[in-house]
Amino acid sequence: MLEALKENGWAETSGPLCNFDEILLSIGKNLGRPISARGGIGLVQQLSPLDKANGYPRSLTSKFGMSSFPFHSDTSHWLTPCRYIILGCISPGAGHRTTELARLDKLDLTSSEIKFLHNHPFRVINGSKSFFSSILGHNRPFIRYDPGCMQSASCRTDLSNEILSPQRLENISEQISWFAGKIIVIDNWRALHRRSFSATNDKDRTLKRVLVI
Ligand SMILES: [Fe+2]
Protein backbone atom coordinates (compact mmCIF):
# COMPACT_ATOMS: atom_id res chain seq x y z
CA MET A 1 0.00 0.00 0.00
CA LEU A 2 2.82 2.41 0.83
CA GLU A 3 4.33 1.87 -2.60
CA ALA A 4 1.00 2.64 -4.32
CA LEU A 5 0.50 5.68 -2.10
CA LYS A 6 3.93 6.98 -3.05
CA GLU A 7 3.46 6.21 -6.72
CA ASN A 8 -0.16 7.29 -7.26
CA GLY A 9 -1.07 9.51 -4.32
CA TRP A 10 -3.71 6.99 -3.31
CA ALA A 11 -4.11 3.26 -2.73
CA GLU A 12 -6.94 0.79 -2.34
CA THR A 13 -7.66 -2.40 -0.44
CA SER A 14 -10.71 -4.06 1.10
CA GLY A 15 -11.78 -5.75 4.31
CA PRO A 16 -14.69 -7.51 6.02
CA LEU A 17 -17.41 -5.27 7.48
CA CYS A 18 -17.57 -7.27 10.74
CA ASN A 19 -14.55 -5.44 12.19
CA PHE A 20 -14.30 -2.58 9.71
CA ASP A 21 -13.56 0.21 12.19
CA GLU A 22 -10.64 -1.74 13.65
CA ILE A 23 -9.25 -2.40 10.16
CA LEU A 24 -9.47 1.30 9.23
CA LEU A 25 -7.79 2.29 12.49
CA SER A 26 -5.10 -0.31 12.06
CA ILE A 27 -4.28 1.04 8.57
CA GLY A 28 -4.19 4.52 10.11
CA LYS A 29 -1.81 3.47 12.86
CA ASN A 30 0.52 1.95 10.29
CA LEU A 31 0.63 5.27 8.44
CA GLY A 32 0.83 7.67 11.36
CA ARG A 33 -1.50 8.81 14.12
CA PRO A 34 -5.29 8.69 13.64
CA ILE A 35 -6.91 11.92 14.82
CA SER A 36 -10.48 13.02 15.33
CA ALA A 37 -11.85 15.59 12.86
CA ARG A 38 -13.13 17.62 15.79
CA GLY A 39 -14.00 17.27 19.45
CA GLY A 40 -16.95 15.10 20.34
CA ILE A 41 -16.62 12.60 17.51
CA GLY A 42 -14.51 9.48 17.56
CA LEU A 43 -11.53 8.51 15.47
CA VAL A 44 -13.81 6.73 12.99
CA GLN A 45 -16.37 9.10 11.52
CA GLN A 46 -19.42 7.97 9.58
CA LEU A 47 -20.23 10.03 6.47
CA SER A 48 -23.45 10.08 4.46
CA PRO A 49 -24.98 12.69 2.14
CA LEU A 50 -27.10 15.08 4.19
CA ASP A 51 -29.29 18.09 3.55
CA LYS A 52 -27.64 21.49 4.05
CA ALA A 53 -29.58 22.09 7.26
CA ASN A 54 -28.01 19.02 8.85
CA GLY A 55 -24.41 19.92 7.93
CA TYR A 56 -21.84 20.95 10.51
CA PRO A 57 -21.27 24.75 10.38
CA ARG A 58 -18.73 25.72 7.66
CA SER A 59 -18.67 22.15 6.34
CA LEU A 60 -19.10 21.36 2.65
CA THR A 61 -22.42 19.73 3.51
CA SER A 62 -23.67 23.01 4.98
CA LYS A 63 -22.92 24.68 1.63
CA PHE A 64 -23.60 21.97 -0.93
CA GLY A 65 -25.99 19.59 0.84
CA MET A 66 -26.81 16.49 -1.20
CA SER A 67 -25.14 17.84 -4.34
CA SER A 68 -21.63 17.09 -5.56
CA PHE A 69 -18.77 18.61 -3.58
CA PRO A 70 -16.02 20.78 -5.08
CA PHE A 71 -12.50 19.33 -5.19
CA HIS A 72 -10.79 20.00 -1.88
CA SER A 73 -8.24 18.78 0.62
CA ASP A 74 -9.65 17.66 3.99
CA THR A 75 -8.95 19.67 7.17
CA SER A 76 -7.73 22.66 5.17
CA HIS A 77 -8.78 24.76 8.17
CA TRP A 78 -6.02 23.14 10.26
CA LEU A 79 -2.60 24.82 10.28
CA THR A 80 -1.22 21.56 8.93
CA PRO A 81 -3.92 19.53 7.16
CA CYS A 82 -4.04 15.80 7.91
CA ARG A 83 -1.59 13.74 5.87
CA TYR A 84 -3.82 10.81 4.93
CA ILE A 85 -7.53 10.15 4.63
CA ILE A 86 -8.75 6.58 4.93
CA LEU A 87 -12.23 6.01 3.50
CA GLY A 88 -14.05 2.70 3.85
CA CYS A 89 -17.39 1.84 2.28
CA ILE A 90 -20.23 0.37 4.31
CA SER A 91 -22.76 0.96 1.53
CA PRO A 92 -22.23 2.59 -1.91
CA GLY A 93 -25.80 3.91 -1.75
CA ALA A 94 -28.58 3.96 -4.29
CA GLY A 95 -26.89 6.68 -6.37
CA HIS A 96 -23.56 4.83 -6.71
CA ARG A 97 -21.66 8.11 -6.48
CA THR A 98 -17.97 7.95 -7.16
CA THR A 99 -15.19 9.68 -5.29
CA GLU A 100 -12.89 11.59 -7.65
CA LEU A 101 -9.20 12.10 -6.99
CA ALA A 102 -6.98 14.66 -8.72
CA ARG A 103 -3.25 14.98 -8.15
CA LEU A 104 -2.15 18.57 -8.48
CA ASP A 105 1.25 17.60 -9.90
CA LYS A 106 -0.57 16.11 -12.91
CA LEU A 107 -2.02 19.52 -13.82
CA ASP A 108 -0.21 21.32 -16.59
CA LEU A 109 0.24 24.60 -14.74
CA THR A 110 1.78 27.70 -16.29
CA SER A 111 4.42 29.62 -14.32
CA SER A 112 1.93 32.42 -13.61
CA GLU A 113 -0.60 29.88 -12.32
CA ILE A 114 2.05 28.34 -10.04
CA LYS A 115 2.91 31.84 -8.85
CA PHE A 116 -0.75 32.51 -8.08
CA LEU A 117 -1.11 29.28 -6.10
CA HIS A 118 1.95 30.19 -4.03
CA ASN A 119 1.24 33.88 -3.53
CA HIS A 120 -2.47 34.65 -3.50
CA PRO A 121 -3.65 35.06 0.10
CA PHE A 122 -6.81 33.39 1.37
CA ARG A 123 -8.50 33.78 4.70
CA VAL A 124 -9.03 30.30 6.10
CA ILE A 125 -12.19 30.47 8.15
CA ASN A 126 -12.10 28.55 11.42
CA GLY A 127 -13.86 30.76 13.95
CA SER A 128 -11.44 32.37 16.41
CA LYS A 129 -8.64 30.22 14.92
CA SER A 130 -8.97 31.69 11.40
CA PHE A 131 -5.72 32.50 9.62
CA PHE A 132 -4.27 33.54 6.25
CA SER A 133 -2.67 31.12 3.84
CA SER A 134 -1.97 30.41 0.18
CA ILE A 135 -2.92 27.22 -1.66
CA LEU A 136 0.72 26.11 -2.09
CA GLY A 137 3.77 27.15 -0.08
CA HIS A 138 7.50 27.09 -0.83
CA ASN A 139 8.27 25.93 2.69
CA ARG A 140 5.65 23.23 3.04
CA PRO A 141 4.83 20.03 1.20
CA PHE A 142 1.03 20.18 1.31
CA ILE A 143 -1.85 21.62 -0.72
CA ARG A 144 -4.39 23.65 1.18
CA TYR A 145 -7.56 24.02 -0.85
CA ASP A 146 -11.15 24.04 0.29
CA PRO A 147 -13.61 26.47 -1.30
CA GLY A 148 -15.88 25.74 1.67
CA CYS A 149 -13.64 27.45 4.22
CA MET A 150 -11.21 29.59 2.15
CA GLN A 151 -12.02 33.07 0.90
CA SER A 152 -9.80 35.29 -1.23
CA ALA A 153 -8.16 37.96 0.92
CA SER A 154 -6.83 40.14 -1.88
CA CYS A 155 -8.32 42.72 -4.21
CA ARG A 156 -6.46 40.95 -7.02
CA THR A 157 -8.56 38.54 -9.09
CA ASP A 158 -9.01 35.15 -7.48
CA LEU A 159 -7.98 32.71 -10.22
CA SER A 160 -8.38 29.56 -8.09
CA ASN A 161 -11.79 28.81 -9.61
CA GLU A 162 -10.19 28.76 -13.06
CA ILE A 163 -6.90 27.06 -12.22
CA LEU A 164 -8.62 24.39 -10.14
CA SER A 165 -11.88 24.33 -12.07
CA PRO A 166 -13.86 21.05 -12.08
CA GLN A 167 -13.43 20.82 -15.88
CA ARG A 168 -9.66 21.06 -15.60
CA LEU A 169 -9.37 18.71 -12.65
CA GLU A 170 -11.75 16.19 -14.24
CA ASN A 171 -9.25 15.82 -17.10
CA ILE A 172 -6.64 14.45 -14.73
CA SER A 173 -8.92 12.85 -12.12
CA GLU A 174 -9.49 9.20 -11.30
CA GLN A 175 -12.97 7.89 -10.49
CA ILE A 176 -13.29 5.60 -7.51
CA SER A 177 -16.38 3.38 -7.52
CA TRP A 178 -17.47 1.93 -4.21
CA PHE A 179 -18.61 -1.47 -2.95
CA ALA A 180 -19.19 -2.59 0.62
CA GLY A 181 -15.80 -3.34 2.19
CA LYS A 182 -13.71 -1.27 -0.24
CA ILE A 183 -11.10 0.95 1.42
CA ILE A 184 -9.04 3.73 -0.13
CA VAL A 185 -6.22 5.77 1.35
CA ILE A 186 -5.66 9.25 -0.06
CA ASP A 187 -2.48 11.28 0.34
CA ASN A 188 -4.27 14.49 1.36
CA TRP A 189 -1.11 16.53 0.86
CA ARG A 190 -0.86 15.65 -2.84
CA ALA A 191 -4.34 14.80 -4.11
CA LEU A 192 -7.59 16.74 -4.05
CA HIS A 193 -10.82 14.78 -3.83
CA ARG A 194 -14.54 15.26 -4.13
CA ARG A 195 -17.82 13.42 -4.00
CA SER A 196 -19.53 13.25 -7.41
CA PHE A 197 -23.14 14.08 -8.22
CA SER A 198 -26.07 11.72 -7.84
CA ALA A 199 -29.50 12.27 -9.35
CA THR A 200 -30.83 9.65 -6.95
CA ASN A 201 -31.49 10.43 -3.31
CA ASP A 202 -28.72 8.41 -1.70
CA LYS A 203 -28.79 9.10 2.00
CA ASP A 204 -28.07 5.37 2.29
CA ARG A 205 -24.51 5.97 0.98
CA THR A 206 -22.34 5.30 4.00
CA LEU A 207 -18.58 5.72 4.20
CA LYS A 208 -16.35 5.63 7.25
CA ARG A 209 -13.41 8.01 7.51
CA VAL A 210 -10.22 8.04 9.53
CA LEU A 211 -7.90 11.05 9.38
CA VAL A 212 -4.19 10.48 9.94
CA ILE A 213 -1.48 12.99 10.86
FE1 LIG B 1 -13.34 15.50 1.91
For residue range 83-104, what is the model confidence (pLDDT) as tens digits? 999 999 999 999 999 999 999 9
| Ligand 1 center from residue 112 Cα (angstroms) | 28
Task: Look at residue 59 in the predicted model and tell me its pLDDT.
Answer: 86
Once rounded to an integer, what is the mean pLDDT over residues 105-112?
Answer: 96
Query: Which pLDDT belongs to residue 1?
Result: 86
Confidence of residue 2 (pLDDT cuts 50, 70, 90): confident
pTM of the model: 0.95
What distance in angstroms lies between residue 194's CA and the mean position of ligand 1's atoms?
6
Q: Regarding beta strands 174-176 and 150-152, do their DSSP bridges make them parallel or antiparallel, or are they unpaired?
A: unpaired
pLDDT of residue 57: 81
Q: How far is the CA of 18 from the centre of ligand 1 (A)?
A: 25
Beta bridge partners of 191: 103
Cα(111) to ligand 1 centroid in Å equals: 28
Mean pLDDT of 128-152: 96
Q: Is 122 helix (H, G, I), strand (E, B) or coil?
A: strand
At 27 the pLDDT is 98
Cβ-contact 127, 206 below 8 angstroms: no
Q: DSSP class of residue 128?
A: B
Number of domains in the chain: 1
CATH number for the domain including 204? 3.60.130.10
Mean pLDDT over the full length of the chain: 96
Q: Residue 49 belongs to what domain range? A: 2-212
* Strands ordered across the beta sheet of 99-103: 174-176, 99-103, 191-195
Per-residue model confidence as pLDDT tens digits over 137-146: 999 999 999 9
Stretch 199-211: mean pLDDT? 97
Q: Rounded CA gap, 149 and 147, in Å?
A: 6
DSSP conformation class of 132: E
Task: Say whether pLDDT at 39 is over 90.
Answer: no
pLDDT of residue 36: 96
Compute, in angstroms, the gap from residue 155 CA to the centroid of ligand 1: 28
Query: Which DSSP letter does residue 106 get?
Result: G
Which pairs with CB-CB distance under 8 Å and at least 24 residues apart come from 16-21?
16/181, 17/90, 17/180, 17/181, 20/88, 20/90, 20/181, 20/208, 21/208
Model confidence pLDDT, tens digit, residues 173-185:
999 999 999 999 9
d(CA 114, CA 176): 28
Q: pLDDT (tens digit, 9 = 90+) per residue, 166-175? A: 999 999 999 9
